[in-house]
Amino acid sequence: MPFLGQDWRSPGWRWVKTEDGWKRCEPFSPALEDGNNQLNDISHTVIITGDDENEEVYNTEDCEFAAKKRKKNHFRNNTDSQCFYREKWIYVHKESTRERHGYCTLGEAFNRLDFSSAIQDIRRFNYVVKLLQLIAKSQLTSLSGAAQKNYFNILDKIVQKVMEDQYNPRLIKDLLQDLSSTLCILIRGVGKSVLVGNINIWICRLETILLWQQQLKNLQMNKQVNNGLTLSDLPLHMLNNILYRFSDGWDIITLGQVTPTLYMLSEDRQLWKKLCQYHFAEKQFCRHLIPSEKGHIDWKLMYFALQKYYPIKEQYGDTLHFCRHCSILFWKDTGHPCTASDPNTCLMPVSPQHFIDLFKF
């Protein structure tokens, strides 16, 4: 009793009647071979017997297309599987043309740009994490089912990398917090209508996020034993230069907790003034002047106050690039098939927010 759908190209499912009821016949399926020995004797045909005892014979070759399709769906449903592409770039097109049908989606770009390898590069790690955080805040429902699987697989690799290397756990904690908040709102609210997949899958994913958060909370930094030169052995002017290289106020505070000398240097008013001037315009911090007890401006408090109202400048060791001539998004070191006479003049670095904006129609 084959089931024929509305699509004329579909050969339909093939079923076999057993003592336990009807079972779907999948050629070369280990489950059926172990469960029903009678199927092992059928090599070229599958015999289906109906209630009226009329026999219908179907060639196994007719089932080949359906078997390949089921095998393909099996790999798609595997949560550990990911999409891999030879080219690490994607053509960004927002409308249909004669050469290209449809348009490029955020999920397609997310799958094509190989973020799994990018998180292994310390120059790109913060960039990918920030991009995942922006997607978690507002674009999670824009991803396709395959892209959402890829998203959580990459997130799993990021958490494992942080657990092993203890690299920037604060950034990952912020990402997981935003992601869990978004999922709670979607699951409790309109989750069934906007989330791709069964709602129980998303509940399991939320539980996994809570587990990751607990693991990061219990993370213990490994104490490194080094008998050579340490940070404390450097002269004051070199330590001061290191602090001036930081663009994040929380990094300065964290480093200041290492030694009393670093704490003294991290409280320097001039250091926080330079940080405010780097991230914010003069008319912005003029609106939020915070004087100290001595009548001077408290630049440290100013920085964290301004951070609540205005976005800070983002710095990354490496970013995605967009070619204005070819409309291709790519990692700079992997390159792309550019047809411009001077490709370097057409390149434009793409921030995480710009990446999201490229796929808003």
Predicted local distance difference test score (pLDDT) of residue 210 = 92
- Residues 304, 276: Cα–Cα separation, whole Å: 9
Structure token digits, residue 51: 């209630």
- For residue range 112-127, list pLDDT tens digits in order: 888 888 888 888 899 9
Residues 320 and 330: their CA atoms lie apart, in Å, by 6
| pLDDT at residue number 50 | 39
Which band of pLDDT confidence, cut at 50, 70 and 90, is reported for residue 55? very low
Rounded Cα distance, 25 and 64, in Å: 11
The answer to which of 6-20, 32-46, 287-301, 331-345 has the lowest mean pLDDT is 32-46
Q: How confident is the model at residue 183 (pLDDT cuts 50, 70, 90)?
A: confident
Locate the domains of the chain by residue range.
103-218, 248-309
Tokens representing residue 211 in the block: 């587990």
User: How much is the average pLDDT of 90-101?
Assistant: 67
Higher pLDDT, 11 or 106: 106
What angle separates helix 199-217 from helix 169-188, to the nearest 10 degrees? 150
Beta bridge partners of 59: 45
Q: Is the pLDDT of residue 238 over 50?
A: yes
* pLDDT at 80 exceeding the cut of 60: no
CA angle 226, 230, 235 (to 5 degrees): 165
Residue 294 neighbours by CB under 8 Å, 6+ apart: none
- Confidence label for 212 from pLDDT (cuts 50, 70 and 90): very high
Band (pLDDT 50/70/90 cuts) for residue 16 is confident
Mean pLDDT for the chain overall: 75
CA distance 27 to 9: 19
pLDDT of residue 172: 92
Instruction: Report DSSP state, residue 83.
Output: -
For 355, other C-beta atoms within 10 Å of its C-beta total 22
- Report the SS3 class of residue 334: coil
Q: What is the mean pLDDT of residues 141-162?
A: 89
Give the residue, 34 or 290, on which the prediction is more confident: 290
| Sign of torsion over alpha carbons 42, 47, 48, 51 | negative
Phi, then psi, of 233 in degrees rounded to 5: -80, -10
Buried/exposed 283-316: b ≥16 CB within 10 Å, e otherwise: eebeeeeeeeeeeebbbbebbebbbeeeebeeeb
For 207, half-sphere exposure in the C-beta direction (CA atoms, 13 angstrom radius) is 6
The CA distance from 178 to 182, in Å, is 6
Comparing 206 with 227, the larger pLDDT belongs to: 206
| Confidence class for position 300, pLDDT limits 50, 70, 90 | confident
How many beta carbons lie within 10 A of that of residue 263, not counting itself? Answer: 13
- The pLDDT, as a whole number, for residue 211 is 93
Greatest mean pLDDT range, 87-101, 107-121, 267-281? 267-281
Are 214 and 237 contacting, i.e. CB atoms less than 8 angstroms apart? Answer: no
360: pLDDT strictly greater than 60? yes
Closest CA to 358 of 323, 333, 334, 317: 323
Q: Is the pLDDT of residue 134 over 60?
A: yes
Residue found under tokens 């106050």: 305
Count, residues in the chain: 361
